[in-house]
Structure formats: C-alpha cells, structure tokens
Amino acid sequence: MRNKLWGRCLVVLAALWGVAAPAQAQSFAQGTFDPTIPTLTETVGHAPGTRITSPDQTYAYLKALVAAAPDRTRMVQYASTWEGRPLYYVILSSPDNIARLDAIRADLANIAAGRASNGAALPVTWLAYGVHGNEISSTDAALMTAYHLLAAQGDARADKIMRETIVVIDPMQNPDGRARFVNNFLAASGIDPAADRQAAEHDEPWPSGRVNHYMFDLNRDWFTLSQPETRGKVAAIRSWNPVVVVDLHEMGGDESYFFSPAAQPFSPNLTQAQIRAYELIGRANAAAFDAMGEPYFTREVYDLFYPGYGDTWNAHQGAIGSTYEQASARGLVFERRDGTELTYADGVRNHFTTSLATAGAVADNPQRFLSDFAQYRAANANGAAGRGTYLIDLSKRRWNAESLGRRLAAQGITVLRREGPASACGKSFPQGYLAVPQAQPAARLVKSLLDRDTPLPPDFLEEQERRRSQDLPHELYDVTAWSVGLMAGTDVTLCNAAATGDALAAETPIAPLNEGSGAFAIAVPWTDSGQARLVTLALRDGIKGRVTDKAFTSGGNTFPRGTVVFPAGDNSPENMARLAMLAREVGAHTVALASGWVDSGPNLGSESFVRLSLPRVAIAWDDGISQLSAGAMRYVLERRLGLPVTPIRTQRLARADLSEYDVLLVPEGDPSAILGEGGQRTIRDFVRKGGVLVAVGDSLETFSGGDSPMLAVKREAALGRDPGAGGDDAEAGLAEALEIATDAEYREAIKDEKALPDTLPGALLNVVAQRDHFLSAGYDDGGVVLATGTQIFTPLDRADGVNVLRFAAPGNLIASGYVWDENRRQLAYKPYLMAQRQGRGLVIGFAHDPSTRAYLDGLDLLIANAVLVAPSRVR
C-alpha cells in the first residue's frame, strides 16, 4: 500500500519537475534540502501524501521540526479541545527575525491599534489548516510547508519568505475531528486503498470528522466563540495581527481547486484596497498552478458575506482573509466521475503549492501589505466606518448583554461599561449600558456584528430574484442575518452619543446582582440565560425550588412568570449558602424574600407554584439526526445551562427503556425510517405515560403524520401550489386540454404542484407569544428566532394544542436579513413553538432549531422552558 502510493507520488513529482526527487527531499518542490531537518518519514515512518498523518504524528513531527531549528521557529499551544488534545501554532522566520520577535509583535500591536509603526514590524502570513477535520490533505500540506521553509537550500522564494515575513502555521484547527476521521478511515481500510467512493473508508459514520467534539462547524463559530478551539484561535490571531489569513479546506472530490478572489456576495464592510489585494494573491496562486498545469477556479461558490467564516471574520479585522479549497480524496485515492484518479498526495501538493505561493506574494510586497493593514486600522480608528456608538441596555437580558460584551471584547473590540442608572441617546438605562464605539480599529467587524442588518449587494439580489423567477436555485451559501444583539435577545441602540465607561475585558466575570433582604426564600427571576443556568446548577446540587406560571409582586419587586423560588423552609442552611455561592459564580440575579406574603399574584403555597426537579434528559443521536443540530442542542443544555444529557442512538430507540427519562429531545433530521414503527411506538408510549417529547425542525414531520399524529400539524407546500391536484382525474387516462398562450401560462403549466416553499437561507424573524402558556415564560414581549429552510407548518387548532409562539404579522415579521416575499407572506402567523398534550405527557415542537450554532442565546429560556421546566409542569 505504502510503496504503491509513494511510487504514484514520485511519478507525480517526476512529471512535474522533470527530475526524480532526491532521497532526502520530501518537499513537493524541487531543490536540495538540509539533512539536519528531519523528514516526515524519519519522524513518523511515512512519506508525505502516502498516509493520512494522525494528530499524534502531527504533534510529533512539529516538535521534531522545531527541535531541529530552534533559531527559526517558535511553537505555541493556544488551546485544548473538549477531548483534551492540544492546539498549536508554529512561527517560522529567519534567525534575525525570531531573535527580535517580541519587538516585531509589539510594533504590530501598535499598528493594529491605529498608531504609527516604529519600523520593527514585519507582515505576518497566517496559514490555518484542517478546520474541518475530514478535509485531510491540508494538515499534511502544513507539515510540508513548514519542512520546506526550514529545509530548502538555495530556494530564493523560501529565503525571501523567511527574511521578509513571519509565517504562522496552525496545522490542525480541529484535532478531535481529524482523529475521528483517521480512526474511521483506518478501521475501514484493507490491503489496498479503495478508489471506489462507496467504500467504507470514504464514507464516514455519524458524526463525521468535519465537526468538533460538540459537532460544531468551527468555520461558522468565529464571532460566537462558543468552542474552545475558536476562543484560543481568535486570541492567538489577535496577538499577531496577520495581514493575510488563509483557511485551507477540501471540497467534493470531483472539483478542482478554489482560491480567492471569492464569489459574490461580498460583505459591504470590505474595502476597495482589500478587494485589490485579493486579486494580487489570486494571481500569485494562479501562476503557481499554471506552472503545474493544474486546473482551478475563482469567484464562484465561496463568498465573503457571513462574518463567522475564517475568511470574512479576518477580513473584518483588516487582513486579507481567504478560503482555499482542494478536491478531497477523502482517503488515499479516489476515482472521479470522469474516470481519473485523485490521490491524497495530489491534494497535499496543491495546498502546499498555494501555501508557498501566498506566503511568497506577501514576501514580494511586504511594505504594501503592512501599510494597507496599517491604513485600514488607523482609518477605522479615525471614524472611517462611522463615529456613532452602539449602546447595549443592561436592564434587558442582563446576563446575555454582559456575556455579549465579553465576546466582543475577546475579538479585540473596545467595549466600555457604564455602571448604574444613566441616560444617553434620549433613552434611560436604569441598570447602565455597554458602549461600543464605531471609531475603533475593528470598526468593520463591529458594524458587521452589531448593525441590525448587513445588506446584500443590490445587483446580487436582483440576480437571485431573477433565478427564482426561472425556478433556479438561489446562490446564497449561508444565513443573511446574524445581528448579535438581536440573537442575544438584548436591546442595542446606535446613536451619536460619545461613549463613556470603563473598558471591559473578556475575562472579567459577570458580577452577581443581589437584591431584597430577608431569610424566607431566594427568588430567581426568569429573565436571562444566567438565571436558567443558576436554577439548573441548584437543582443538580439537590437544592429544592418551585416555579410559578404566573407573575407576582412582593416587597415592591415584580417577578415575571417562570420565576423560581427556593424557600429556606424546603432547604437546609447549607443548601441556601450553596445557592448563594452558585449565584456568585454564575453572576446571576437573585432577590431575597422576607415573607411568603405577596402583594399581588399567587402566594408561594399556591398551585401556580410547582416543585421543580432536575429532569433526566435523553437526546436522539446518530443516523437520521442532524449532527449539527444534535451537537448544538447538547452543547447549549450541557455547557451553557449545565444540564447533563444522555445520547441514545436512533437505531436503539425502538427497544430503549425510556422510563429512565423525563424528556426525549429529537433534534433536526429525518429519523422516521430508522425509528420505524417500533421506535414510534416506544416514543408514543413514553409520552402517554407522562414523558415530554421535544421535536425540532423537520423532525416534527416524524411525529405529525398518520391517522393519529402526536402533533396535529402539517407541513405546507409552496404558496399557490395544490399538493392534492391531479389525484381525482388520474383514472381518466387523458389530461385536461390546456391552451398555453403566454410565458407565464407556460410556467404555470410546468410547475410542481407539490413543491415546497423556496429555501430560506436564514433570517431573524419576530415571534409573538401566547402569554398564558408556561412554555413562553420569559417571552411576554415576543422574541427573535432564526428561520431557515423550507419548513412551514399549519397552526395547531384549539382542540389539539397551543401555538405557544407564532411568527408575527407579515408587515412586522422580519427582524433582520433577507426573506423571499412568498416566504414572508406564508410564514406570517404560522407556529414556531407548538405544544400538544398526549395522554399524561406533552409533545413540544420547534419549527426551527433554537440552538443553531449556539448563537441564539436569547432563546435559552425557551429551551429551558421546554426541557428543564416542562416535566415538572406536566406532572
């Protein structure tokens, strides 16, 4: 296997360069190589491109390279994964540059702050590989790039890169995912690598190596920072202020190679200078590929719009941020549809080629890249992107607002915190505010995240509407809305007031808020994510609480419905002290009550208060379930709220003993075929006996079909279609005569009567609460949700259940983003959150996932209502 492939690799090399590679050379470029720099073969036992280098082998080789060239390298651990694997970056430059690395870094920080350079700075090219762990060739390319820069002798380009620039290589952004891929690949492999794409070694089991431990797409997480890999990476990049950032990926095996310039749409927050620099780098990559005779494409598919991508986020910091994509062999050899074979070595070589070409482009133009970056940061600091201030109200979803402020600070954004009552912008802020000035070096990232809307380019939109009118699919790659203030459920105002307050640091703990006095009970108002986390942690520690479904007032304080009260009479003094400690740790809001007497609303002994106990939660896992949805839901429950979740594989659910659980969560997906009748029966029994079923997104359909659906809703076809059409006349054999006189009539004649609504790429929409239901506690004023895809459900009728949250009226529906007009009209008034009693239990349906990417933290209370509170209410 090894000889055969290395032979293939050598053939490639020989064909490329017209020479046989010398024994020592393990680069994909010609030359002589320093024998004191260890090769991959010497260190881990295989040559580049002949095996998929595992995470452990990657670490071993990086350490060997750094040990062999201590004067030209630095290796830094920047994070650890959920599964305990380290993440490293390696700095490469000439001995002179490495010797003055601290001075270079300090001057780069000067420039990034919008100040003048002292002349010490050099441009940093940041090359990041393998963010998707099953996009395998990039990590091996990272190792070869590092080897080449250290070992190549007499290579003028490598010398120039080391002399004129700093190269930072992050070889493996998602080691947990890569380990998963490599393990699955090795477990399925046999005597020879299989080229057949159907072979198990190319066909990963659930979950794929693309995602990290909590099954997040790390290339969507850059501004959410929910995952440790992203938090560490963002801090590392901020500390180096690179001028160029490349994120190297893989795409389908039948493609060729993609590099920037990117496709439309571009974010309006890019500058003309940036767009010119993309062209310069693109031409350098093109020249390298032309020399190899390799095909490539630019300006298609991969856009620069959503700021959670590695390319766009870094572009909003002033770097030239790019995505490169290599066709994936998803193994060692892959037969393409055109009959040719793609090898792993091909992919490694191509990513190696663009890595060096891109670093070379920076080395050829070091002053241009540095001064473009300096001008970008200084102009923003001087107000080029605006001079207003975003004010985030700390009296609404306080914990989420504080948490958002820290996330922004972690991205290098200046956030000021004004404590206590204040007024600004003609508004009063009874608990103060966070102020984010527009005039700062990262202004365009600030705008992109905090503006309510980031408009799509009008000509791009026009083209998409034209495509839709021709029944062609639209070309939007991701969501059109991500306004972080809306997603956190906070209130953000942009005005011209000057920003005042103390600088907020990302690490500053959220301060607890303690009010009231007395020893009768501690009340936890149901107002934000921190409150839900405190209640969950308290229940886990055995502290006894009661939850109300009606608002009450006591001692001059108003407590919204959903408030949880922990009476001293139900708890030991130790438990009450433990509760106070947890509240401090979380930074939660608690109110001490002196008496059970209330001024209005139910007394604590009323039946409106029910005993709240920690639910036992299972989540449907594995085939038939979306790994992104399952991972995000589990992450929000476990890591944000603190509630442990037990995954049960869909294949086992038919024979599972669900009596061990209070809640079964079924994330997005289509599990019906795998559940089968047995699984449906098990779940129905579970609910009838008092269980809570929470179904999300298209999984709702699994429970809404048949003669006696568990949730009596139906999915709707597109507007103007009639899914029942044609049924009655089927026996006649002849079709009704039809005269077609116009283009419009022709389109009408060929339309698909069963077509679903056009896919919504993703927009933030307003929902309205049915205020009497416990599931909407915390949402009396409605909320903002993310809607994506094609699913629109009919409302539950009164006899069947409650539409707890429904989409707002058409004129008030859109909070942010672009929505096709038919979607807007059809979604209005349709259910978002539904509840239907079944026997002694309850079925809860979310039409769209509230946990997507863990970035809708404004919906955490809704998730807590459905998972944490519902079992106690149902009993």
Amino acid at 714: K
Q: Are β-strands 783-789 and 760-769 bridged in parallel, bridged antiparallel, or unpaired?
A: antiparallel
Query: Which residue, 249 or 418, is less far from Zn ion as judged by CB?
Result: 249
In angstroms, give the least distance from the CB of 193 to Zn ion: 22
**Cα gap 305→311, rounded to integer Å:** 9
Query: Which residue, 334 or 433, is less far from Zn ion as judged by CB?
Result: 334
Question: What are the b/e assignments for 762-777, b being 16+ CB within 10 Å?
Answer: bbbbbbbbbeebbbbb
In angstroms, give the least distance from the CB of 329 to Zn ion: 14
Rounded-to-5 percentages of helix, strand, coil across the chain: 40, 20, 40
Distance of CA 530 to the CA centre of its chain: 21
Query: Which residue, 185 or 520, is less far from Zn ion as judged by CB?
Result: 185
How does DSSP classify residue 150? H
- Residues listed for the chain: 875
832: left (phi over 0), alpha (psi -120 to 50) or beta: alpha
Closest CA to 808 of 779, 836, 773, 835: 779
List CB contacts of 496: < 8 A, sequence separation 6 or more: 387, 388, 389, 425
In angstroms, give the least distance from the CB of 116 to Zn ion: 38
- Report the residue closest to Zn ion, judged by CB: 249
In angstroms, give the least distance from the CB of 441 to Zn ion: 29
In angstroms, give the least distance from the CB of 249 to Zn ion: 3
Query: Which residue, 57 or 323, is less far from Zn ion as judged by CB?
Result: 323
Read off the tokens for 864: 């807590």
Main-chain dihedrals φ then ψ at residue 749, nearest 5 degrees: -70, -30
Residue ranges that bind Zn ion, judged by CB under 5 A: 132, 135, 249
In angstroms, give the least distance from the CB of 350 to Zn ion: 15
Q: Is 516 exposed, middle or buried (0-12, 13-18, 19+ CB in 10 A)?
A: middle
How many Cα neighbours within 13 Å face the side chain of 396? 18
Location of structure tokens 């859109």? 814
**Cα gap 783→208, rounded to integer Å:** 33
The number of beta carbons lying within 10 Å of the beta carbon of residue 628 is: 23
In angstroms, give the least distance from the CB of 825 to Zn ion: 36
In angstroms, give the least distance from the CB of 596 to Zn ion: 57
**Cα gap 187→180, rounded to integer Å:** 11
**Cα gap 531→535, rounded to integer Å:** 6
Q: Are β-strands 841-846 and 73-80 bridged in parallel, bridged antiparallel, or unpaired?
A: unpaired
Alpha carbon distances (Å) from 533 to 439, 449, 547, 583, 638: 35, 25, 14, 9, 10
Query: Which residue, 246 or 392, is less far from Zn ion as judged by CB?
Result: 246
Query: Which residue, 325 or 701, is less far from Zn ion as judged by CB?
Result: 325
In angstroms, give the least distance from the CB of 804 to Zn ion: 37
**Cα gap 393→405, rounded to integer Å:** 11
In angstroms, give the least distance from the CB of 132 to Zn ion: 4
Query: Which residue, 104 or 348, is less far from Zn ion as judged by CB?
Result: 348
List CB contacts of 734: < 8 A, sequence separation 6 or more: none
Amino acid at 516: G
Query: Which residue, 248 or 834, is less far from Zn ion as judged by CB?
Result: 248
Query: Which residue, 249 or 396, is less far from Zn ion as judged by CB?
Result: 249
Query: Which residue, 87 or 151, is less far from Zn ion as judged by CB?
Result: 87
Read off the tokens for 523: 């009340």
**Cα gap 297→42, rounded to integer Å:** 36
In contact, 863 and 846? CB cutoff 8 Å: no
Query: Which residue, 249 or 316, is less far from Zn ion as judged by CB?
Result: 249
In angstroms, give the least distance from the CB of 631 to Zn ion: 16
In angstroms, give the least distance from the CB of 210 to Zn ion: 7
In angstroms, give the least distance from the CB of 135 to Zn ion: 5
Alpha carbon distances (Å) from 45 to 42, 329, 548: 6, 21, 64
In angstroms, give the least distance from the CB of 250 to Zn ion: 6
**Cα gap 575→722, rounded to integer Å:** 60
Query: Which residue, 75 or 301, is less far from Zn ion as judged by CB?
Result: 301
In angstroms, give the least distance from the CB of 802 to Zn ion: 41
Closest CA to 862 of 842, 839, 844: 844
List CB contacts of 312: < 8 A, sequence separation 6 or more: 267, 304, 305, 306, 321
Reduce the DSSP state of residue 141 to 3 states and report it. helix
List CB contacts of 226: < 8 A, sequence separation 6 or more: 216, 635, 639, 853, 854, 855
Read off the tokens for 162: 């080391």
In angstroms, give the least distance from the CB of 218 to Zn ion: 9
Query: Which residue, 87 or 614, is less far from Zn ion as judged by CB?
Result: 87
Query: Which residue, 209 or 489, is less far from Zn ion as judged by CB?
Result: 209
Query: Which residue, 206 or 477, is less far from Zn ion as judged by CB?
Result: 477
Closest CA to 172 of 64, 237, 111, 247: 247
Query: Which residue, 39 or 137, is less far from Zn ion as judged by CB?
Result: 137
Query: Which residue, 135 or 155, is less far from Zn ion as judged by CB?
Result: 135
In angstroms, give the least distance from the CB of 247 to Zn ion: 8
In contact, 762 and 628? CB cutoff 8 Å: no
Query: Which residue, 26 or 358, is less far from Zn ion as judged by CB?
Result: 358
Main-chain dihedrals φ then ψ at residue 445, nearest 5 degrees: -70, -40
In angstroms, give the least distance from the CB of 785 to Zn ion: 27
In contact, 590 and 513? CB cutoff 8 Å: yes
**Cα gap 803→216, rounded to integer Å:** 30
